[in-house]
């Protein structure tokens, strides 16, 4: 609330105020349309000699009928404008929060799609303003005005209306909030169960068939579904009860207003012409106030979203050194690792354990290891996005840091994201000022131009049009071209061929290593395919170097390596 | 942005009864609305003329009764519709689940699990909401204004004419403005979609941006796109909101015309206060159902789109099932032939999907033991395994198991025989133990501990706080690819299935893990009938018999040694692969 709602409400209080003003004017116009119509008819029924006596009401009726339509229209526009502005702030803020922890987010939340969920959350908060805040405040203001009007005439009646309209504006919404909070939790949980069962059913479809437990699954889904529907039915039942109560109260309000106005007329405080006016007006006002409950009962859903968004904040972050000094390095720097150790915040285990290594310029190093061996972490350390807990990683004699990314070091991460824009723009994400010729040149080096030339829009083809246009291998090549445009002396490749068939894999590796002939390359890989192309092979286990040497050397001296290589190339194993 | 809509009322079991009840209820409702207006107008008129309130209690009472009756009927209508909607939602979810399980393997892959889950959850919800509102809205829109219009006609012709004329004008403007808004939205749909997806696209690509050293600068870009997005959205909204504006505007303008007209005729004396007041109270009621339809526009649209897809899907899968099963012999698979020693044979089996021949007239009689299926990508390896797993039904040909002839292998007795291990086995979000005993739910913890030791997961289990009861999968401890594969092996092992189908089980693993997994499989599946499809050649050394596929056909067949000596397609294939020295 304090981080995500209040500051923006304050920042946009002017626009929000205008929105609510328009909302109130809209309700008031509707009420006044009926009030004046009632008055006009009653007045006319007295058959005044001079038609000019009803001239003002006639004009007013027409005016209110127009303003009743105009104000809601304006209110919606102003409202959406404010909300879109606030949404911009949310997006910027969310990005600023997430950007520094981009690499640890998935492990922190143990779910693949935390970003998708949070992005939806901030979209959902738009509804908080449009569907809850604006209507609720409008209702309260309208309530205040009506009460004041009655108070102007008669204090006791004002108190009566204060109570009766209060039921509609405060009491029932409050009840609604607490009851819906309970339902919301229950429904959310039941939906989650059903969701999980359906997901399990589809992903594990064959497992269900093979296990002979298909009927059990169907029964589970049916039970989940039934309990969910029963719960939703409870909500409906509450809505029926709630609406019936409010209707009863509003019927009573109309009758009581009629009696009160009649009393006022008999006392001579009012003219008989306003009886119809007040009665008709109260119809319109109670109708306008009834949706307040609907507005309030959405609140529990927003609270969930806010909680999730607040959880994104990390109280103690591994803050990167902001004032990074960039030294001038030689055009082809040497990479040094000196007693490097690293462990993640949460755990004591050393992911990288006292590692020392030197990689000469132009050297090609293949890095292998089981999952969890530390090879990906090592790559992140060398790229500078992680800083070692002890020891040093240096380019020549300068400590590595993330500022060298895109200048000296470029990285092809495991699942490079291709943005939903043109091929050329995707390459430009690598370097914003790249010319069209440069882009074509790197695409050519990635051996993609033959394909791209056949496309009607060439390098300006959208990545995603009519579904997926490019195959896995082609997408990898585009990502690789984006890295080449940075023209750095050091290239880090994190399993760039995963998921490709062997032929594609082999071709891609050849392309990559061919294009990086003069560069230092560290290739994290899970196969020994292409091992012959590399200068050195290094196996990592438990954060330490397990095996290091050239392909020929290892093949000759190391049984383990020989076994693996023979298996990988299909000879033995 | 072509989305199919099913514009009709929902036609499911119970919809006839619902409509049958809603129509008379709506007629009573209109009567109550008129009575409510009539008695209120009477009461007000009497009070206006100075009658003491004590003498008109009956009018006030009747007003209140009619008022209550009217809303009671509304509640009954809604309850009926809600019950129908809940029944429909229940039925649709069950039918969808059955349709998913009745369909071939590629159906789920093509549609995507995410989309199907969303359809089953949110899609059904949308149909439910649609079913709750649409029948009531349609019936009310026809009956309420018509009856009220006729009644007003009997009271004052001029007012009735204004109200009747207003409706077509109002609807015409609504449609025109709606079309204008849609044309505008369509025109900038592509831009609009890109802008609105830009943020989520940026979040998805954040890791990549960090590694490209661009993540800080990208914040400016997000800000710029936000501003563009707001401008574009507001431009569209200005037009989009006009259609509900037209509704409000013409509705209230005609009420104003009615009121002014009545006022003038009252002055002339050509109409009385009572009918005038009645008309004035009724006029908003006349427009209320039409306005409601406008408000529910989006819910209606979503509901229609979801309904079209769900109905189509259920109908298609029902159709598929009939086609595929009509030539399946119903004879029970005899106990003898279901045993392991029954031979498995394909007789001219073809699988065609969307015009592609995945398997092309394939015939073989398979021996027992370890069988390798090899071939380049797209040769039909996976399709063959899918047919054997009962997840893909041949378009023609027969499959024999012993003496038993079948059109497809999707029957329970066959499923009892097989375990299937794909490249990425699905890990259910439950405990490790429950994952392992998935095919054999009665297995004890001791049995599971035993299996865990056999497949080399014991050391890993020791590191888990809850041992074999540790929650794994989504929301729990994530497993590595190698560990997932071991869990799948454990499942197959524990259930003691005689036939193990493996589809590329190790290609995605790092070479060391692959080596370990291979040793485990070689060990624990030694006496099983293993059918393994892969492009990893090293597996071929383990095989008793090898089928080499290309373009959906068997191009070479025999033992590794025999095939090498033969120097046919297999020899060439592994020669290229094995001999790639670069």
Phi, psi of A405 (to 5 degrees): -60, 140
Selection from A361, A475, A478, A377 nearest residue A430 by Cα: A478
Pairwise CB contact (< 8 Å): B116 & A42 = no
pLDDT at residue A143 tops 70: yes
Q: CA B421, B424, B428, B431 torsion: positive or negative?
A: positive
CA A172 to chain B, closest CA, distance in angstroms equals 18
The pLDDT of residue B331 is 43
Among A155-169, A255-269, A318-332, the least confident range: A318-332
The pLDDT of residue B92 is 95
Alpha carbon distance B164, B160 (integer Å): 6
Choose the closest CB to A222 out of B94, B199, B514.
B94
List the structure tokens of A304: 């969930």
Chain A hits for B482, CB-CB cut-off 8 Å, are 370-371
DSSP line for B67-88: HHHHHHHHHHHHHHHHHHHHHH
Mutate to test the interface with A, among B208, B226, B520 (most CBs of A within 10 A): B208
Question: Is the distance from CB of B275 to CB of A103 less than 8 angstroms?
Answer: no
Q: Cβ atoms within 10 A of the Cβ of A276, count?
A: 32
Interface residue B235 vs chain A (CB under 8 A): no
Domain boundaries, chain B: 10-156+294-319, 171-270, 335-578
- How many Å separate Cα B549 from the centre of its chain? 36
List the structure tokens of B387: 């047919």
Mutate to test the interface with A, among B106, B212, B485, B561 (most CBs of A within 10 A): B212
pLDDT at residue A207 tops 80: yes
Alpha carbon distance B543, A336 (integer Å): 47
ipTM, 2 dp: 0.86
Q: Which of 296-325 (B) contact A at CB < 8 A? A: none
Selection from A181, A258, A544, A225 nearest residue A377 by Cα: A544
Pairwise CB contact (< 8 Å): B538 & A572 = yes
- Owner of token pair 């092979």: A537
The pLDDT of residue A315 is 55
Pairwise CB contact (< 8 Å): B259 & A573 = no
Enumerate residues 6+ apart whose C-beta is below 8 A from A400.
Answer: A381, A382, A383, A384, A393, A394, A409
Interface residue B55 vs chain A (CB under 8 A): no
Interface residue A258 vs chain B (CB under 8 A): yes
Choose the closest CB to A198 out of B121, B238, B428.
B121
- How many Å separate Cα A168 from the centre of its chain? 35
Best CATH choice for the domain B10-156+294-319 from the list 2.60.40.10, 1.20.1560.10, 3.30.70.2660, 3.20.19.10: 1.20.1560.10
Question: Is the distance from CB of B281 to CB of B162 less than 8 angstroms?
Answer: no
- Chain B residue with CA closest to A414: the answer is B208
Pairwise CB contact (< 8 Å): B515 & A567 = yes
The pLDDT of residue A406 is 87
Interface residue A81 vs chain B (CB under 8 A): yes
Instruction: Tell how strand A409-412 and strand B356-366 pair up.
Output: unpaired
Pairwise CB contact (< 8 Å): A69 & B86 = no
For chain B, how long is the longest CA-to-CA vector?
A: 118
Question: Is the distance from CB of A171 to CB of A162 less than 8 angstroms?
Answer: no
Q: Which of 418-477 (B) contact A at CB < 8 A? A: 418-420, 422, 425-426, 428-429, 438-439, 441, 474-476
Pairwise CB contact (< 8 Å): B202 & A95 = yes
Interface residue B284 vs chain A (CB under 8 A): yes
CA A448 to chain B, closest CA, distance in angstroms equals 21
- Section A34-63 average pLDDT: 91
CA B362 to chain A, closest CA, distance in angstroms equals 24
Interface residue A524 vs chain B (CB under 8 A): no
Q: Which of 296-355 (A) contact B at CB < 8 A? A: none
- Owner of token pair 């023979």: A566
Alpha carbon distance A534, A565 (integer Å): 14
Alpha carbon distance A176, A145 (integer Å): 24
Q: What angle do CA B480, A502, A428 make, to 5 degrees?
A: 80
- Section A364-376 average pLDDT: 90
The pLDDT of residue B320 is 60
Alpha carbon distance B472, B484 (integer Å): 10
List the structure tokens of B266: 């009252």
- Section A116-133 average pLDDT: 87
Alpha carbon distance A498, A473 (integer Å): 10
CA A119 to chain B, closest CA, distance in angstroms equals 7
Buried b (16+ CB within 10 A) or exposed e, B229-249: bbebbeebbebbbbbbbbbbb
Interface residue B220 vs chain A (CB under 8 A): no
The pLDDT of residue A528 is 87
Pairwise CB contact (< 8 Å): A501 & B377 = yes
Alpha carbon distance B46, A259 (integer Å): 12
Enumerate residues 6+ apart whose C-beta is below 8 A from B354.
Answer: none
- Owner of token pair 């004009």: A59
Residue A433, H or E segment: none
Interface residue B295 vs chain A (CB under 8 A): no
Interface residue B101 vs chain A (CB under 8 A): yes
- How many Å separate Cα B44 from the centre of its chain? 55
pLDDT by position in tens, chain B (length 582): 345 777 777 888 889 999 999 999 999 999 999 999 999 999 999 999 999 989 999 999 999 999 999 999 999 999 999 999 999 999 999 999 988 887 666 677 777 888 899 899 999 999 999 999 999 999 999 999 999 999 999 999 999 999 999 999 988 988 888 888 888 877 777 777 777 788 888 888 888 999 988 888 899 989 999 898 898 888 888 888 888 898 889 999 999 999 999 999 999 999 999 999 999 999 999 999 988 887 888 888 889 989 999 998 888 876 665 444 443 443 444 443 445 567 899 999 999 887 888 999 999 999 889 999 998 888 899 899 989 988 888 999 999 988 888 888 888 888 888 999 988 899 999 999 999 999 999 999 999 999 999 998 999 999 999 999 999 987 788 888 899 999 999 999 998 889 999 998 988 889 999 999 999 999 999 999 999 999 888 898 889 999 999 999 999 999 999 998 998 888 888 776 544 433
Pairwise CB contact (< 8 Å): A279 & B44 = yes
The pLDDT of residue A314 is 67
The rounded radius of gyration (Å) of the Cα atoms in chain B is 35
Chain B hits for A258, CB-CB cut-off 8 Å, are 43-44, 47, 60
Computed over every residue of chain A, the mean pLDDT equals: 89
Mutate to test the interface with B, among A198, A321, A374, A534 (most CBs of B within 10 A): A198
- Section A232-241 average pLDDT: 94
The pLDDT of residue B576 is 66
- CA end-to-end span of chain A, whole Å? 61
Interface residue B252 vs chain A (CB under 8 A): yes
CA A230 to chain B, closest CA, distance in angstroms equals 9
Mutate to test the interface with A, among B222, B263, B280, B502 (most CBs of A within 10 A): B263
CA B36 to chain A, closest CA, distance in angstroms equals 11
Outline where B188-214 has alpha helix (H): 189-204, 206-211
The pLDDT of residue A73 is 95
Which CATH architecture group holds B335-578?
3-Layer(aba) Sandwich (3.40)
Query: What are the CA-CA distances from residue B466 to residues A189, B433, B470, B493 (Å)?
Result: 25, 11, 5, 23
Mutate to test the interface with A, among B44, B122, B389 (most CBs of A within 10 A): B44
Interface residue A417 vs chain B (CB under 8 A): yes
pLDDT at residue A430 tops 60: yes
Selection from A171, A225, A191 nearest residue A304 by Cα: A191
- Chain B residue with CA closest to A570: the answer is B538
**What pLDDT digit, counting tens, does each position of B253-292 carry?**
999 999 999 999 999 999 999 999 999 999 999 999 988 8
Interface residue A506 vs chain B (CB under 8 A): yes
Residue A320, H or E segment: none
Domains in chain A, ordered, with CATH? 6-311 (1.20.1560.10), 335-568 (3.40.50.300)
Enumerate residues 6+ apart whose C-beta is below 8 A from A427.
Answer: A434, A439, A442, A443, A459, A478, A481, A482, A485
Pairwise CB contact (< 8 Å): A526 & B230 = no
Interface A-B, measured as beta-carbon pairs within 8 A, has a size of 407
Selection from B198, B136, B101 nearest residue B9 by Cα: B136
Chain A hits for B538, CB-CB cut-off 8 Å, are 566-568, 570-573
């Amino acid at each position: 609330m304090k981080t995500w709602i209040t500051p923006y409400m304050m920042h946009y209080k002017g626009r929000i105020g205008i929105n609510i003003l328009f909302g109130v004017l809209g309700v008031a116009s509707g009420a006044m349309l009926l009030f004046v119509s009632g008055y006009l008819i009653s007045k006319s029924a007295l058959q005044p000699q001079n038609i000019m006596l009803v001239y003002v009401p006639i004009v007013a009726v027409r005016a209110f009928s127009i303003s009743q339509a105009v104000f809601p229209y304006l209110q919606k526009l102003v409202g959406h404008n404010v909300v879109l502005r606030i949404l911009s702030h949310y997006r910027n803020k969310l990005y600023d929060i997430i950007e520094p922890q981009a690499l640890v987010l998935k492990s922190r939340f143990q779910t693949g799609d935390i970003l998708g969920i949070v992005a939806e959350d901030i979209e959902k908060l738009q509804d908080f303003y449009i569907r809850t805040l604006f209507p609720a405040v409008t209702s309260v203001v309208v309530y205040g005005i009506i009460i004041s009007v009655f108070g102007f005439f008669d204090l006791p009646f004002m108190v009566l209306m204060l109570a009766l309209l209060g039921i509609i504006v405060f009491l029932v919404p409050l009840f609604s909030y607490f009851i819906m909070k309970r339902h919301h939790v229950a429904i959310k949980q039941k939906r989650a169960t059903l969701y999980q069962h359906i997901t399990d059913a589809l992903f594990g479809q064959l497992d269900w068939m093979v296990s002979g437990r298909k009927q059990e699954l169907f029964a589970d889904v049916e039970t989940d579904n039934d309990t969910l529907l029963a719960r939703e039915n409870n909500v409906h039942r509450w809505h029926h009860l709630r609406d019936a109560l409010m209707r009863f109260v509003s019927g009573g309000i109309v009758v009581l207003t009629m009696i009160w106005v009649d009393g006022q007329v008999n006392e001579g405080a009012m003219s008989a012409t306003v009886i119809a006016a007040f009665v008709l007006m109260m119809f319109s006002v109670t109708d306008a106030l009834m949706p307040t409950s609907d507005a309030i009962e959405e609140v529990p859903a927003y609270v969930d979203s806010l909680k999730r968004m607040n959880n994104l904040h990390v109280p103690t972050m591994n803050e990167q050194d902001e004032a990074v000094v960039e030294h001038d390095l030689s055009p082809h720097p040497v990479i040094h690792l000196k007693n490097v150790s690293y462990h993640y915040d949460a755990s004591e285990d050393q992911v990288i354990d006292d590692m020392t290594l030197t990689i000469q310029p132009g050297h090609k190093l293949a890095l292998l290891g089981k999952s969890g061996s530390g090879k990906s972490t090592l790559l992140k350390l060398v790229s500078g996005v992680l800083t070692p807990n002890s020891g040093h990683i240096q380019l020549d004699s300068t400590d590595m840091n993330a500022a060298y990314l895109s200048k000296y070091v470029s990285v092809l991460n495991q699942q490079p994201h291709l943005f939903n824009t043109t091929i050329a723009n995707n390459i430009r994400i690598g370097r914003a000022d790249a010319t069209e010729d440069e882009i074509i040149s790197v695409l050519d080096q990635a051996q993609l131009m033959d394909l791209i030339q056949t496309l009607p829009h060439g390098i300006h083809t959208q990545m995603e049009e009519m579904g997926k246009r490019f195959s896995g291998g082609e997408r990898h090549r585009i990502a690789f071209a984006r890295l080449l445009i940075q023209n750095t002396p050091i290239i880090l490749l994190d399993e760039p061929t995963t998921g490709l068939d062997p032929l594609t894999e082999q071709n891609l590796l050849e392309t990559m290593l061919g294009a990086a002939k003069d560069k230092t390359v560290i290739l994290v890989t899970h196969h020994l395919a292409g091992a012959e192309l590399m200068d050195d092979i290094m196996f990592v286990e438990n954060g330490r170097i397990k095996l290091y040497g050239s392909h020929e050397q290892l093949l000759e001296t190391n049984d383990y390596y020989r076994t693996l290589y023979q298996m990988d190339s299909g000879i033995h194993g | 942005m072509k989305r199919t809509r099913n514009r009709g009322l929902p036609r499911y079991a119970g919809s006839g009864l619902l409509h049958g009840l809603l129509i008379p209820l709506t007629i009573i409702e209109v009567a109550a609305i008129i009575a409510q207006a009539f008695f209120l107008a009477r009461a007000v008129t009497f009070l206006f003329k100075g009658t003491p309130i004590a003498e008109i209690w009956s009018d006030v009472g009747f007003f209140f009764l009619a008022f209550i009756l009217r809303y009671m009927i509304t509640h009954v209508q809604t309850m009926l519709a809600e019950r129908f909607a809940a029944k429909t939602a229940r039925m649709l979810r069950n039918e969808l689940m059955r349709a998913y399980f009745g369909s071939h393997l590629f159906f789920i892959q093509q549609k995507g699990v995410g989309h199907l889950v969303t359809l089953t959850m949110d899609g059904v919800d949308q149909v439910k909401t649609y079913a709750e509102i649409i029948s009531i809205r349609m019936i009310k829109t026809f009956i309420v204004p018509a009856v009220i219009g006729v009644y007003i006609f009997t009271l004052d012709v001029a007012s009735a004419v204004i109200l009747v004329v207003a409706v077509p004008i109002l609807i015409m403007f609504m449609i025109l403005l709606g079309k204008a808004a849609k044309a505008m939205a369509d025109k900038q749909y592509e831009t609009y979609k890109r802008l609105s997806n830009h943020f989520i696209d940026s979040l998805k690509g954040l890791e990549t941006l960090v590694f490209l050293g661009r993540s800080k600068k990208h914040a400016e870009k997000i800000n710029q796109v936000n501003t563009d997005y707001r401008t574009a959205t507001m431009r569209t909204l200005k037009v989009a909101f006009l259609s509900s504006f037209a509704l409000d505007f013409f509705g209230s303008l005609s009420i104003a015309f009615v009121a002014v007209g009545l006022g003038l005729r009252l002055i002339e004396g050509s109409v009385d206060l009572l009918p005038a007041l009645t008309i004035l109270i009724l006029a908003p009621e006349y427009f209320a159902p039409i306005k409601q339809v406008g408000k529910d526009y989006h819910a209606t649209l979503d509901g229609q789109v979801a309904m079209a897809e769900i109905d189509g899907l259920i109908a298609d899968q029902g159709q598929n099932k009939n086609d595929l099963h009509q030539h399946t012999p119903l004879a029970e698979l005899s106990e003898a032939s279901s045993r392991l020693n029954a031979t498995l044979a394909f007789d001219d089996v073809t699988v065609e999907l969307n015009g592609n021949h995945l398997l092309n007239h394939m015939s073989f009689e398979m021996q027992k033991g370890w069988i390798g299926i090899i071939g380049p990508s797209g040769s039909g390896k996976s399709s063959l395994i899918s047919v054997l797993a009962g997840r893909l039904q041949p378009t023609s040909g027969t499959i024999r198991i012993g003496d038993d002839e079948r059109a497809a292998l999707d029957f329970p007795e066959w499923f009892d025989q097989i375990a299937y291990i794909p490249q990425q086995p699905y890990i259910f979000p439950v405990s490790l133990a429950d994952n392992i005993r998935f095919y054999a739910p009665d297995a004890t913890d001791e049995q599971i501990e035993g299996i865990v030791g056999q497949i080399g997961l014991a050391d890993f289990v020791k590191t888990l706080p809850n041992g074999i009861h540790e929650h794994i999968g989504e929301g729990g401890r994530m497993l590595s690819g190698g560990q997932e594969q071991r869990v799948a092996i454990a499942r197959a092992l524990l259930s003691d299935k005689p036939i193990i189908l493996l589809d590329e089980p190790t290609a995605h693993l790092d070479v060391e893990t692959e080596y370990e997994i291979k040793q485990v499989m070689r060990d624990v599946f030694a006496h099983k009938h293993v059918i393994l499809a892969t492009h990893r050649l090293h597996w071929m050394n383990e095989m008793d018999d090898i089928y080499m596929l290309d373009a959906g056909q068997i191009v070479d067949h025999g033992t590794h040694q025999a095939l090498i000596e033969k120097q046919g397609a297999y020899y060439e294939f592994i020669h290229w692969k094995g001999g790639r020295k670069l």
